[in-house]
Amino acid sequence: MGSQRFPDGPHVAGYLLEERLARGGGAEVYRAQHLVSGRMVAVKLLRDPPSLASLERARAVRHPHLVEILEAGTGPSGAYVVMELLEGTTLRDVLAKRGPLDLRRALAVLLPVLDALHAAHARDLTHGDLKPENVFLQRLHGGVARVKLLDLGGVPTGHGGDVVFGSAAYLSPEHAAGDLLDARSDVFGAALLLFELVTGRRAFDAPAPVATAYRIVHDPAPRVGDDRLQPVLDVALAKSPGDRFPSAAAFAAALAPLAPDAALSAAALSVLARP
């Protein structure tokens, strides 16, 4: 990938932008270096940012499976977020390379995501956009890999209303309908993510975003082809939040009997994260 410079200059808030890593979804992400300490970080430039108060709420959440937000602010060219720099691959790239995952590998990815969500929900924050692009497999030393959840936007629990953000295929019914969000909205989103991991397709896909949102609100939960997993997904994908698992931790507990042990999970993640 060729080096791309930020168009208004190479510096943002004391960071030298060196290489563009990703672009899309109203943002660009750059590999950058702090001009004083020399630390390498990722700087995300936001074209349509959430409020700084929201970003500060997200920054306050610390968890091994959440990408660490180091600082956030606004400059002459707009809002930015500085994050820890991760080496590895997104779950979207894993699916494109490998296709659907077997259930044990899928749960090796999803259970850490649910753990990170539980930490966010404990701080009254919801994610609202749980898609493969927002799950990263970080490559560490010695072939070890770690799941990192990206793009926790700091949306307070009980908010949402007429503001619909996120990707149409990954909305909960209440999100698509413009209703308020809470932890159970992310339970639905995590179930959509799990369905895609094990089938290789989106649960409620349609040719247009509006049609996709309609299907999410009205169509029954799709079949996953696994009699052990289906009853759990049926609860997690219930249309009414009151019929779902009440928390990410409860969803994880229902999936735990189907999951591999810690050693097998670590081995599965290591394989998935390989270049």
| C-alpha span between 79 and 203 (Å, rounded) | 34
In the structure, how many helices (H) and strands (E) does the chain have? 9, 11
Residues facing residue 252 across a β-bridge: none
Q: Name the catalytic one among 115, 129, 182, 186.
A: 129
234 given a catalytic annotation: no
Which residues neighbour 265 within 8 Å (Cβ) at sequence distance 6 or greater? 104, 107, 108, 111, 259
Are residues 265 and 142 in contact, defined by beta-carbon separation less than 8 angstroms? no
| C-alpha span between 134 and 190 (Å, rounded) | 11
Q: Are strands 145-149 and 125-126 parallel, antiparallel or unpaired?
A: unpaired
| C-alpha span between 118 and 252 (Å, rounded) | 10
Which residues are identified as catalytic? 129
